[in-house]
A and B are shown apart, each in its own frame.
Chain A
Amino acid sequence: MKIINCPLNGPRNASEFVYGGEVKQMPDPAACSDREWAEYVFYHYNGTGEVREWWLHAPSGYWFIVERHRVTGEISRTYDPSELDQGEFFASVPGAAEEINS
């Protein structure tokens, strides 16, 4: 069984976790265009390399951030969302923001 290191609960079996999607900034739904909202809801980065993702530790209901390699599945880091740099959602995915917004 793969082990994921939960920042709150420590190392646990991967079966205790639920994938929550990539980390990306939500546009202001009241101010953004339909296209921007559709991009946020439906279009996702589909490349390789290191990505930042939301994961849930289901037994404790705790959401946190995982930095994971999409080819090897290797997890390089897990941390509490309070450590997230709000302005740097796409920093670990070079070109992803441009790709999604193009």
Chain B
Amino acid sequence: MTSMTPAAAAARSTLYPKLSDAEFAPCADGSIAAGFGADDSAQATRCGLMDLTPLTRTGFRGAQAAAHLAASGFPLAEQPNQASVTGGGELVLRLSQREFWVLGSLQDMGERITGLVAAACPDSGCYPLFCQDSHGWFTLTGDAGSAVMAKLCAVDMRDEFFPPLSIAQTSVARINAIVVKHSINGVPAFSLLFDSGYVSYMWDVLLDAMQEFGGAAVGCSALR
């Protein structure tokens, strides 16, 4: 992965000034925190926090949204508030009967869904959602994830009540958020998507909540 200066990129997470000890790498037309040091992988397995805000994602809403995504080859969950995973690692979130978000994969840094972002929607019954711009995206990794979430959120996110690929649209640290439970190369993970104006606040709150579990920031390459 090529390192770069975040300010040199056309787009970057608003969080980048707080990540001064990170090594950045290109991602789409921006930069992403790729690593924080040699211990990144072990840290991510224990308790880590990634800023994936620059990673490509998109969404669709409308009566034809499901058909549009199915025609593009994406697997769809049967029920709202469930997610599915593609072979390439993309997450497809079903947020309601007619609303879907597609989150790019760390395997290819969102490259595979750039075609979906650029493709035209059907003439009616489907319109795009610009969640790339409207929402921040953090991923909480490691075995302590459920315990960290228990401090911030009223929904019980232990495996027996909130199995992998479940979605909760709820309040996290008093901010409306979409929480998805999944895994990255076998390591349990929670992805949180929330109003992009709260990126800095949410980063501080999560790191604070992770402190008692030995949590720390990790780069997006930690689990690749």
Interface residues of A (CB under 8 A from B): 1, 8-9, 12-13, 15-16, 57-60, 62
Inter-chain pairs besides A16-B171, A59-B177, 17 sampled, C-beta below 8 Å: A8-B96, A9-B81, A9-B168, A9-B170, A12-B155, A13-B171, A16-B170, A16-B176, A57-B169, A58-B176, A59-B169, A59-B170, A59-B171, A59-B176, A60-B95, A60-B96, A60-B169
Using Cβ atoms and an 8 Å threshold, which residues of chain A touch B154?
A: 1, 12-13
Interface size class of chain B, counting residues whose CB lies under 8 Å from the partner chain = 10 to 19
Q: List 7 A-B contacts (CB under 8 A).
A: A9-B170, A12-B170, A16-B170, A59-B170, A59-B171, A59-B176, A60-B169
Decide: A59 and B96 in contact? CB cutoff 8 A: no
Q: How far is the CA of A58 from the CA of B175 in the complex (A)?
A: 10
Using Cβ atoms and an 8 Å threshold, which residues of chain B touch A59?
A: 169-171, 176-178
CB contacts between A and B, total, < 8 Å = 30
Q: How far is the CA of A72 from the CA of B176 in the complex (A)?
A: 28
Using Cβ atoms and an 8 Å threshold, which residues of chain A touch B95?
A: 60
Proximity bits, B38-50, A CB within 8 Å = 1, else 0: 0000000000000
Decide: B176 and A8 in contact? CB cutoff 8 A: no
Report if B80 contacts A (CB, 8 A): yes
Using Cβ atoms and an 8 Å threshold, which residues of chain B touch A12?
A: 154-155, 170
Using Cβ atoms and an 8 Å threshold, which residues of chain B touch A16?
A: 170-171, 176
Decide: B169 and A9 in contact? CB cutoff 8 A: yes
Asked, given contacts A8-B80, A12-B154, whether A62 binds B171 with beta carbons under 8 Å apart, the answer is no
Proximity bits, B74-112, A CB within 8 Å = 1, else 0: 000000110000000000000110000000000000000
